Structure 1
Amino acid sequence: MFPIYLLEDNDIQRQKYAEFIKNGILINDANLELKSITGTVEDFLQDYVPQEQGLYFLDMEIQSNKLAGLNIAERIRKDTPLAQIVFITTHDELSLTTLERKIAPMDYILKDKGLDEIKHRITDDIETAQNNLHRYSHSSKNLLDYKIGSRYFSILMDDIIMLYTQKDVPGRIFIVSKNQLAEFNGSLNTFEINYPSLFRCNRSYLVNLENATTYDSHTRTLSFIDESTCEVSFRKNKELIKLLSNKKNV
């Protein structure tokens, strides 16, 4: 789950925005959680943990400090270049300041537009954030991502053992990692193209050789750290022997 932070010093508005965010997560079935709801800069910084990704809803003016939210956003941007920042504010005149400080907010919501508009924009922003998170994780070499329904999941590539299909369950991919098992709709060909570090043993198996333990070239049986095995096709045998030989020489 990726975190959402909310900073708003008005108690009533903070409660409403938190409600809108929770509803937006449910509506979008987003892989996000509302991790922090705070009303002061001090409380925000106490909760704040820089991560590779996150979504931040920030009021611009906090406790009569007109630039408090802006200063927080500037820090977030330095800590987390890929953070997605949304301002909810009465200060439309400060929108240019966000450009000058290179904060690049995802959205700039004006409070005087009313609660219905704010709710709509928050829901849309959560959808946008979810899509951005998916694109980022998909392009990362360290993560393998997959989708179940409308939800996206990611697994560290180091943890992947294999992906495979079964003839009696067409269109389904089964994934085995060090810590979990999962299944979802998809095409093994697509994963082979998108994740070239994985090796195609045969028509039904795509494996992570980093988690392979032994290979018997006579029986063409490849074994893995979880004691699972898969058969390597005859035409892939020489390619695999070469890859494993190069791996030993590294």
Structure 2
Amino acid sequence: MMQNIYLLEDDPIYREFLTQQLNNIMMIEALPFQLQLATGDPQAIMTDLTEQTPHAAIFFLDIEIKDSTISGIDVATFIREHVPAADIIFVTNHPESALLIVTHKIMPLDLIQKDLSADTCAAMIHQDLLDIAQRMTHADELITYSLAGTIHTVALAELSYLMTVPGDPGTLNLISDRETAEFHGNLNDYESRYPQLFRCHKSYLVNLAKVTAFDVKKRQLTFAHAAPAEVSFRKVASLRKQLLER
């Protein structure tokens, strides 16, 4: 799956340097990334994310943006609210802003200082991209969710199901062997991102590997570490078939 990279840098010369480094690294390493936008305008990034909100993306952000009332910290805060699994790398002359990064719960992947040598900056960017690519190779083994600005991961092998909270379709419950969690999310989004899960009901997205029994008459799935899940009438036949073919 291709992942977009966004670059915010107000100095056109340094922006070109970063653009060249990113393109060279992506080409040499054959990474599954593409440069979506390189700009000195913070609003351009926020507008792009509003028009097409990805689940994950990579952001290289300057902090102090000349002639703008919007800082890189503001953009990062916006990203954390709109792109749950974003990777944020600050590239800045203002490492003293680290306290703001902490207080805004941005949790960047890295902070690269511009006063480092060009080779050192390039090496740090290279390693960050390799780390993200390596994590992506194992993404199918994990399910992620965002809670209070923090990205959490759960092994799919431990997940029983996701369910919509009754009366609140914008909130989901995650039930796994080790934890339960309630967070803002959309079941349709998780269904498209994790095709290995089964939509047995409009309110349930289940891991069939965790099912211990299926009562066809009651239309109910049983799990070892979770309460039963309801099955809609129209899903009974396909669910029964998949369970028998496991």
Normalised-by-shorter TM-score class: 0.5 to 0.7
Code of the residue aligned with 1:157 in structure 2: it is P
- Once the two structures are TM-superposed, the CA of residue 82 in structure 1 deviates from its matched residue by 1.4
**Paired letter, 1:16:** F
Offset of 1:246 from its aligned partner? 7.2
| Match for residue 139 of structure 1 among 137, 142, 148 | 142
When the two structures are superposed, what TM-score results if normalisation uses the length of structure 2? Answer: 0.56
TM-score normalised by L of structure 1: 0.56
Q: How far apart are residue 123 of structure 1 and its match?
A: 0.8
Q: 1:80 aligns with which of 79, 83, 87?
A: 83
Residue 33 of structure 1 aligns to a residue whose secondary structure is strand
Tell me by how many angstroms 1:244 deviates: 2.3
* Contact 2:57-2:87 within 8 A present in 1 as well: yes
CA offsets per residue over residues 104-155 of structure 1, 9 Å max, x none? 00000000002111111111111111122233333249xx9xxxxxxxxx99
Aligned to 1:9: 10
- Post-superposition Cα deviations, 1:73-102, rounded to whole Å, max 9, x if no partner, equal 011011122110000000010112111110
Q: 1:101 aligns with which of 77, 100, 104?
A: 104
Cα RMSD of the aligned pairs, angstroms, is 3.3
Aligned-partner residue type, residue 99 of structure 2: L
Change (3 A) 1:26 1:196: farther
2: CA distance between counterparts of 1:116 and 1:99?
A: 28
Distance in 1 separating the partners of 2:134 and 2:208? 20
Deviation at 1:17, TM superposition (A): 0.2
**Farther-moved stretch of structure 1 (33-42 vs 101-110):** 33-42
Q: Does structure 1 residue 63 correspond to structure 2 residue 66?
A: yes
Distance in 2 (CA, whole Å) between partners of 1:137 and 1:245 is: 20
2:241 aligns with one of 219, 233, 244: 244
Which of 121, 130, 144 aligns to 1:118? It is 121
**% same residue:** 29
Q: Is the 8 A contact 2:42 2:70 kept in 1?
A: no
Match of 2:60, SS? strand
Counterpart Cα distance in 2 of 1:4 and 1:56: 6
The 1:135–1:246 alpha-carbon spacing in structure 2 relative to 1, beyond 3 Å, is: closer
Structure 1: gaps of 5 or more residues: 145-153, 159-193, 198-240
- Aligned mates of 2:25, 2:3 — CA distance in 1: 14
Distance of aligned partners of 1:9 and 1:157 in 2 relative to their CA distance in 1, 3 Å threshold: same
Instruction: Identify the residue that residue 157 of structure 1 maps to in structure 2.
Output: 195
Q: Residue 57 of structure 2 aligns to which amino acid in structure 1?
A: G
Alignment correspondent of 1:184: none
Please tell me whether the aligned partners of residues 57 and 87 of structure 1 are also in contact (alpha carbons under 8 angstroms). Answer: yes
1:46 corresponding residue in structure 2: 47
Aligned match for 1:127, one of 121, 124, 130: 130
Amino acid of the structure 2 residue aligned with 1:31: P
1:219-238 to structure 2, matched below 5 A, reads none
| Corresponding residue number in structure 2 for 1:32 | 33
- Aligned partners of 2:119 and 2:73: how far apart in 1? 24
Count of paired positions: 159
Residues 1:37 and 1:243: Cα distance change in structure 2 (over 3 Å): same
Greater Rg by CA: 1
CA distance in 2, matches of 1:98, 1:18: 24
Moved over 3 A (4+): 64-67, 194-197
Q: Which amino acid aligns with 1:134?
A: T
